[in-house]
Every structure is written in structure tokens, then in C-alpha cells.
Structure 1
Amino acid sequence: MRPVRNEIELGAALRDRRARAGLTQAQLADRAGVSRGFVIDIERGRRPRAELNRVLAVMRALDAALSLVDHRTPSAEQALSDLLEDS
């Protein structure tokens, strides 16, 4: 999982996910209940103010989820500590 920080990265992540699912843009649009033009625009990062419910519909159609993560980069000591806690 890679962090997504802007609409360009979100579009690329959704395009990659769609391709891995073997879906065309039209098929994804149909599953999500949005237009193919909307899917094209999202994948190209051209909808920075897109309605969240429509973006989430596309994500649900791809069986994808949104996760919020801290934007800060942890220190090496903190990263090691986090890894040790998870194991």
C-alpha cells in the first residue's frame, strides 16, 4: 500500500487497481454508477473537487478502501519500535 497525497496519485492508484482487476473504464463506470468520463477524469487527476461520494463509489466498485495515515515521517527509532510492536 502506498500513500496517496494528491489527486494525481489517487488517480494513478485507481487506474492501477482497475487494470489489475481487468476492468475497462466503461466497466468500472457501470459498476460504480458514474460516467466513463468521470472515471477518465479521476484517473488523470483532473477532478480535484470531485464529489466524495462518487469517488468512494469508484473505490467500492474496485473493492478498495480509504485509510488515513499520519503524514509525518517517523524517526528511525520510532519506525523500529513500531515494527517491534507489530510482531
Structure 2
Amino acid sequence: MVVIRNEIELGPALRERRERAGLTQAQLALRANVSRAFVIDIERGRRPRAELTRVLAVMRALDSAITLVDHQAQTAEEALADLLGER
């Protein structure tokens, strides 16, 4: 699971998921029924206020979903343990 806390983290996460799926930006755009320019802008963080419907369409095309979690303060050690899967 990838935790995204802001709009800047969304683009790289979607790019990584697209590349892992073996899709080009054009293929993803076609599947999501959005323009390739939209996919490029999202991946580069140029659409911080992008329409949620279109972002969700891209995520569905990648077989991804959003999970809401409670925000909780963590120490650096706890965050590292989470990243390493040790908790």
C-alpha cells in the first residue's frame, strides 16, 4: 500500500503504478477516457486541483483505489518500521 498525503505525492505514485502495469501514458489515457496531456500533468504534479472524477478514472484504469486512513503522529522510528514492514 502506498500512502499519499498530498497532491505532490500522487503523481509519482500513479506513474509507478502505470509503469508497473506496463502501460504507456497514451494507453492509460485511453483506458481512463482522459487526454494523454491530463495523465502527463497528473504524473508531473501540474494538476494540484484536478477534477476528482478524472483522477478516479485514471486510478480505476490502473486497478487502484483510495483508502482513507486516520492520520496519526509517528516518530521517525515508527515511520521507518512501517516503511520496512516491521510493524
User: How far did residue 74 of structure 1 move?
Assistant: 5.6
TM-score by length of 1: 0.82
Deviation beyond 2 Å, 4+ runs, structure 1 = 73-76
Instruction: State the percentage of identical aligned residues.
Output: 76
Could you tell me whether the CA contact under 8 Å between 1:32 and 1:61 is conserved in 2? yes
Aligned to 1:29: 29
Structure 2 regions of 5+ residues with no counterpart?
A: 79-87
Structure 1 regions of 5+ residues with no counterpart?
A: 77-87
Specify the structure having the higher radius of gyration (Cα).
1
Aligned to 1:19: 19
- How many correspondences in the alignment? 76
Matches within 5 A, 1:5-84: 5-73=5-73
Give the alignment's Cα RMSD to 1 decimal: 1.4
User: How far did residue 59 of structure 1 move?
Assistant: 0.2
Could you tell me whether the CA contact under 8 Å between 1:10 and 1:45 is conserved in 2? yes
Q: Deviations over 1:4-48 (max 9, x none)?
A: 011121111100000000000000000000000000000011101
Q: Following the alignment from structure 1 to structure 2, what is the Cα–Cα distance between the partners of residues 2 and 53?
A: 20
